[in-house]
Amino acid sequence: MKYMSGKELRRRYLDFFVKNGHLELPSASLIPKDDPSLLMIGAGMAPFKAYFTGKMTPPCTRITTSQRCVRTGDIENVGRTARHHTYFEMLGNFSFGDYFKYDAIKWAWEFLTGELELPKDKLWATIYPDDEEAYKIWTTETDINPEHIVKLEDNFWEIGSGPCGPDSEIFIDLGEERGCGSPTCGVGCDCDRYLEIWNLVFTQFDRTEDGKYNPLVHKNIDTGCGLERLASVLQNKPSNFETDLMFPIIEYASKVANKEYGKDKETDISLKVIADHARSISFMVMDGILPSNEGRGYVLRRLLRRAVRHARMLGIEDKFLAGAVDVVAEIYSGVYDELTNRKDYIKKVISLEEDRFATTLTQGMDLLNAEVEKLKAENKTVLDGEVGFKLYDTYGFPWELTDEILHENHMTLDKEAFDKAMDEQRTRARNARGENKRMDIPDLRDSNIGELKVDETARQAKIVCIWKNAKTTNSLEDGDEAGLILDVTPFYAEGGGQEGDIGSLKTDMGNAQVIDTKKLPDGSVYNIVHVTEGSLHVGDTVEITVDMENKLASARNHTATHLLQAALKRVVGDHINQAGSAVNAHHLRFDFSSFEPISAEQLQQVEEMVNAEILTGKDVEISHMNQEDAKKAGAMALFGEKYGDIVRVVTVPGFSMELCGGSHVKNIGQIGMFKIIGESGVAAGVRRIEAITGKAAIDYMNAKAKLLQTAITTLKTNESNLCDKIANLLQENKEMKTEIAKVQAERAKADSNKLLMALKEYNGVNVIVGKIQAANMDELRNNADLLCNKFDKAGVVVLGAILNDKVNFVVKVNKDGVARGLHAGKIVKEVAMVTGGNGGGRPDMAQAGGKQPEKLNDAFAKGHEVIQSQIK
């Protein structure tokens, strides 16, 4: 076992699996894509859920990644144990119906004992007791000590119904000095002696709701190998915090706090918390998450404020977290360049949040400390939830932070009372999420507003209420943005997935733009306005202008959404049900239930069916009827909507019938054209179609036609022959590449023959070192093999080639050469370093890369030097 940096370990892992046929993909964002079931990515397999379930087809059946993850479930343990983190990287290799247990186990063992040279006698494996297949592979295909294979009932991975299967975990024995001293200490013990470094999950069953395990047709492999854990082993560190992936942050915080790490337990805990949270915070902001009181933003705020609190415990009064971003960026330079590129932005976000919390932290801590002392004096252990809410609302303390501080004093927070105090605020926050134009609304129950009416034909009304910054007011001035209510309104208020109307208001004393229209909790319509000139007053009579072009565009998309759902049910099946929608003047988005992607042929059928219906020019019928009668007549209800006894029914005769309160065209011919521009998965069992209508669809098709014409002109052909022309060009290109590859192979062979003629001999060992003109790494490796096979005694081949302006090396040592002390991995590492690169491998074969091709000859000279020094 040799020292290896976190950077090199990550690269070695990915290269190993690429070499074994895997496609390397970059880490996905911490923000889950099209998966509302996840708050953040917390596992290596999370970005591939759709591949595992068969909802989507992977780009390759073998994939390898180093996935950035954030989990906060065990946040209270961070800094107190050697292994708990909120941020970590999970190395993974995945198979989607490709290889299974044999290769997964074999490659894991080969990587750990071959690439990393971990001592085999220190490695243990656990398996599920009934998994005889895994046991046989471990005992016959690896040279693990059979006594180091432990059968545990816990080695079965499942979460409710769905794909599941046994797993096999690999542990390393770190020695008795890391153990608990118990005579029963062994694999699975909670102490630090046996460290889990790899988990192989064999997804082979589909568990039904009634508990039956049916074999999957396509078996999958999901593996997880913690980068920080493995780095701690290779760097011989007692915890992940001392590795080069984290310790530079501890050093930074120690310097700022003027504290020495390793001298005091509580100091070390705070330094570790800061190091861990600094990584989470940096990457979360890098991925676009901002501090807030909801969802991912709340997690970020909690982590940031927790880190600030631990900094105060160390005596750090000034802002410092932004400076930690520089250290984090340096640790991950060359790996996550976006972190370096966005460093200034990340520091600004963190600095502003530090400022916000710093102004209230001291006062909040004074209040909390006083309350703790009061509880101690009264011999009580539960803090009033109202006090906890005040700490949150006034001083910015996440409730978990308050609870953590209480826990340190053997106390708890009255969470039920806290939740009760939070209810109203949480409701406002949920309403605000995704509705950034919603105004803070004051209590209007005592306002003398009077009866309000909705009238689509109204063009004049009176202002009956105005509010700004959650307080009612009698007037607005130029530049103000606020909410107001008209006694009669023609504006459609946001609802049923459709955005609210926009327009303008004009009075004798001022003008305002209506930038959105929404509903109060009681259903009353209000406008969000921006005063552009003069002033507005309660009691003013206003001239109303609704932006009819915007309204008609929204109406086109809304009616088209109804046609889309009806067409989907006809083409795909009656199981299609709406799961959500969004309609505005620019496009429509329709989410619906489906257990598989919609095929290209089905999408084309749906699009053609909708356009054919549009061409019929039917009038859209609007009626009102009893809800039960409407449903009996076949009307579909919209997702998430609440209906009264009398409902509004929108009907396209013979095609569609839905309960809906939204805006629609009078005649479906007004839609003009319907064009689907995207279909994707957004969650398990939920698909999404995005489409455009009217002028947007015409513009889209015109752009496609222009692109087509450009291709025709560029290729000097006509539309009917374009596909054949492209096919011919591709075939010609393929043939030319084949010819070029032949020429390059012959040239490389000629170079190899020249090198063979220039063979050197050192102390009875044949040595070939030189450059060939290879087309790719396979060719470079093949020529190294050919030359090495020509030796009749100990020998070594060091070949270099320039590929894509970079240097690539391959070193091959035959069996007799290894016996004479030659080690390919060590040779190639020294050689590559001359050209600004790195690499390594087995004693008999290794490869590496470099960035400075101009130093190739110097690298070869180094090769001769290293070879001579190794020969025994």
Residues 601-621: tens digit of each pLDDT: 999 999 999 999 999 999 999
**Res 640: pLDDT:** 38
**Residue, of 504 and 358, whose pLDDT is higher:** 504
**Res 444: pLDDT:** 66
- What's the whole-number mean pLDDT along residues 674-679? 95
Is residue 855 over pLDDT 90? yes
Cα–Cα nearest to 502, from 488, 510, 512, 513: 513
Query: Quick one: pLDDT band at residue 681, thresholds 50, 70, 90?
Result: confident
Q: Which residues, other chains included, contact 745 with Cβ-Cβ below 8 Å and sequence gap of 6+?
A: 775, 779
- Residue 660 in marked binding region: yes
Q: What average pLDDT does the chain have?
A: 89
Cα–Cα nearest to 633, from 621, 651, 615, 620: 651
pLDDT digits over 619-652, tens only? 999 999 988 788 778 787 654 355 677 888 999 9
d(Cα 31, Cα 405) in Å, to the nearest integer?
A: 29
Q: Find the range with the poorest average confidence among 8-12, 115-119, 133-137, 737-741.
A: 737-741
For 563-616, the DSSP string reads HHHHHHHHHT-TT--EEEEEE-SS-EEEEEE-SSPPPHHHHHHHHHHHHHHHHT
d(Cα 301, Cα 294) in Å, to the nearest integer?
A: 10
- Residue 664 in marked binding region: yes
Residue with structure tokens 């309660």?
538
Rounded to the nearest 5°, which phi and psi values hold at 45? -85, -10
Cα–Cα nearest to 149, from 105, 111, 84: 105
Sign of CA dihedral 601, 607, 611, 614: positive
Answer for the pair 384, 355: CB distance below 8 angstroms, yes or no. no
Residue with structure tokens 């909802």?
55
**Nearest-10 Cα torsion for 182, 185, 190, 196:** 150
- What's the whole-number mean pLDDT along residues 170-187? 90
**Residue, of 753 and 120, whose pLDDT is higher:** 120
**Res 87: pLDDT:** 96
Query: Quick one: pLDDT band at residue 741, thresholds 50, 70, 90?
Result: confident
d(Cα 774, Cα 12) in Å, to the nearest integer?
A: 23
- Residue 562 in marked binding region: yes
Instruction: Indicate the SS3 state at residue 833.
Output: helix
**Res 317: pLDDT:** 86
Per the structure block, which two tokens stand in for 729?
Answer: 């060009």
Query: Quick one: pLDDT band at residue 138, thresholds 50, 70, 90?
Result: very high
**Res 437: pLDDT:** 43
- Domain coordinates of the chain in residue numbers? 6-238, 247-432, 453-546, 563-691, 739-870
Q: How far is CA 791 from CA 13, 554, 756, 767, 783, in A?
A: 32, 77, 10, 9, 13
Rounded to the nearest 5°, which phi and psi values hold at 849? -135, 160
d(Cα 142, Cα 124) in Å, to the nearest integer?
A: 12
Cα–Cα nearest to 111, from 11, 220, 237, 202: 11
Query: Quick one: pLDDT band at residue 238, thresholds 50, 70, 90?
Result: very high
pLDDT digits over 446-459, tens only? 566 777 888 888 89
**Nearest-10 Cα torsion for 172, 177, 179, 185:** 80
**What angle separates helix 548-571 from helix 600-615, to the nearest 10 degrees?**
120
pLDDT digits over 557-569, tens only? 999 999 999 999 9
**Residue, of 241 and 521, whose pLDDT is higher:** 241
The secondary structure of 330-371, three-state, reads: HHCCCCCHHHHHCHHHHHHHHHHHHHHHHHHHHHHHHHHHHH
Is residue 432 over pLDDT 50? no
**Res 424: pLDDT:** 60
Q: How far is CA 577 from CA 422, 432, 466, 475, 756, in A?
A: 35, 27, 40, 47, 71
Residue 538: CB atoms within 10 Å:
17
Is residue 433 over pLDDT 50? no
Cα–Cα nearest to 784, from 728, 819, 828, 821: 828
Residue 154: CB atoms within 10 Å:
10
**Res 643: pLDDT:** 66
Pick from 61-65, 74-78, 181-185 the range whose average pLDDT is largest.
Answer: 61-65
d(Cα 266, Cα 249) in Å, to the nearest integer?
A: 17
Does 453-546 match 563-691 in CATH topology?
no
Rounded to the nearest 5°, which phi and psi values hold at 504? -150, 160
Per the structure block, which two tokens stand in for 554?
Answer: 């929204």
Is residue 425 over pLDDT 80? no
The fold of 739-870 is Diaminopimelate Epimerase; Chain A, domain 1 (3.10.310)
d(Cα 607, Cα 538) in Å, to the nearest integer?
A: 49
Considering only the top CATH level, what class is 6-238?
alpha beta
The fold of 453-546 is Elongation Factor Tu (Ef-tu); domain 3 (2.40.30)
Instruction: Indicate the SS3 state at residue 657.
Output: strand
Specify the pairing of strand 541-546 against strand 460-468. Answer: antiparallel
Residue with structure tokens 């310097």?
255
Instruction: Indicate the SS3 state at residue 89.
Output: strand
Is residue 595 over pLDDT 60? no
* 65: Cα within 13 Å, side-chain hemisphere: 23
**Res 636: pLDDT:** 78
The fold of 563-691 is Threonyl-tRNA Synthetase; Chain A, domain 2 (3.30.980)
In DSSP terms, 512 is beta-bridged to 505, 531
Q: Which residues, other chains included, contact 334 with Cβ-Cβ below 8 Å and sequence gap of 6+?
A: 7
**Res 436: pLDDT:** 39
Per the structure block, which two tokens stand in for 444?
Answer: 């209007």
**Res 776: pLDDT:** 87
d(Cα 98, Cα 44) in Å, to the nearest integer?
A: 18
Residue with structure tokens 């895997």?
22
Query: Quick one: pLDDT band at residue 779, thresholds 50, 70, 90?
Result: confident
**Res 212: pLDDT:** 87
